[in-house]
Every structure is written in structure tokens, then in C-alpha cells.
Amino acid sequence: MSSLKEKNKNPGSICAVIPFYNEKETLIKILNETSHYVKFIYAVNDGSVDDSYQTERQISNVKFIDHDKNYGKGKALDTGFKAAVSSGYDYIVTLDADLQHNPKYIPNLIEGLKSFDIVIGNRLINLKGMPIQRKLSNKLTSFFLTIKIGQNILDSQCGYRAYSVKVLKEVATEYSGFEAESEILVKASKKGFKIGFVDIPTIYGNEKSKMQPVQAILGFLKVMLNRS
């Protein structure tokens, strides 16, 4: 499954979960653009210290949820998922706040949920601009996840995803860091949920990745070795 053609906007029962940490320069833009494609947005402030984000809080279809400190992306996603599930949304999209994910492809991911339970953006069709260390780590983690769960994982590290709410009602994360995104795939697969991909562009600007390589590798290994 692969398409870059922009589908018609149909926000319906779709919400977005956008975790962020110190994204003052980009947050209001990603919130405004995302709001065209979803009914509601849960913006999870994972202990940001760069500003108060008062301007962004004025957007009518956005709810801010504030963590008292920086716990990690996995914890921020879990907070947003719980809010979205309890509010009764059918589909939940996740995307990063640093403009690496173009919201206009949200309809493509949602379209994919007609055939899959989780749909992930695949950036690896065109690796131009992706830092070499990310290429290598992504290829390796995708390879090992494919073996572990028995489904073809094309881009394990992409946080641009769409979930059917039934997945998030049955799958909860134990890890608080970036490894939580791999954990979700492992647990969802064990429960029989299907994982698909939609090709999306690779977008890299001047943003600095918050992923710490050593910490990320250790977290991924924990997920791979966890038998639960």
C-alpha cells in the first residue's frame, strides 16, 4: 500500500495526538495545519521549558495536557492516547511537532486503516536528506522488528502514524522513551492487529533530534528481549 495522492479532507471522528518538548518555533504551525484534517488535537507538553505556549492554547480545537517534567515521548503518547480513547474517537493520528511530518498526508494514513489497524508513514523510499546514522539505525531496527513480529516493517522509527482506536484500547506501553513506538508494534502484532505503510516524503530541516542514540538502542533492545 503506497500513495502520495492527497485524499479529500474528512475529519469526522479523527483526532491527533502531538507530543512536544521545547518546540516553540514550530508548534503553532503544526497545530494550525493539522487542525484542517482532524476534529480535535491533544497537544501533550512533555515538560517544555522554552516558553509558556499561551498563544497556541487559544486554538479552539486543541487541548493542552501538561506533564510536570520531561518523561519521554512514550509517556507523552500514552497520555494523549488515554485522553483520545476516553473521548470516543475512532481514529487517532500521531505526528511530531517539529514539522518533519506534513499534515496533508493524514487522509492517506486514515485511508490505509480500511485495510490495516495501524498505518505508518514510510520515509525510506527516498533517503535523501536523512542523516546517515538514522538510515542505519532505522534499517536495522526495522529488520529486527520484521523478524520478531512476523510482519513486514518498512520504517520502524517513523512517528507519523494512524491507529484504529481498538488497538489502543488493547495495547498499552510500559516504556516512556522512543522505544515505546516499537513496543506498540510488538504488542499489537501479538494481538493479531495488522500493520501497513504509506509512503511519505522525508523532511529534514535544521531541527535537532531529541533521540539519544545509546539510550534509544538500549530501549529498543529491552523491547526486543521482553517476552511479555
Q: In a structure prediction context, what are the per-residue pLDDT tens digits for the chain, which is 228 residues long? A: 433 444 445 566 999 999 999 999 999 999 999 999 999 999 999 999 998 999 999 999 999 999 999 999 999 999 999 999 999 999 999 999 999 999 999 999 999 999 999 999 998 776 666 667 767 777 888 999 999 999 999 999 899 999 999 999 999 998 999 899 999 999 999 999 999 999 998 776 555 555 555 566 777 777 777 766
Number of neighbouring beta carbons within 10 Å of residue 66: 12
The number of domains in the chain is 1
22 within domain boundaries: yes
Domain that holds residue 95: 14-225
For the chain, the helix, strand and coil percentages under 3-state DSSP, each to the nearest 5: 35, 15, 50
5 within domain boundaries: no
Q: pTM score, two decimals?
A: 0.87
**Is-contact 103 26, C-beta < 8 A?**
no
Where residue 161 sits, what CATH number does that domain have?
Answer: 3.90.550.10
99 within domain boundaries: yes
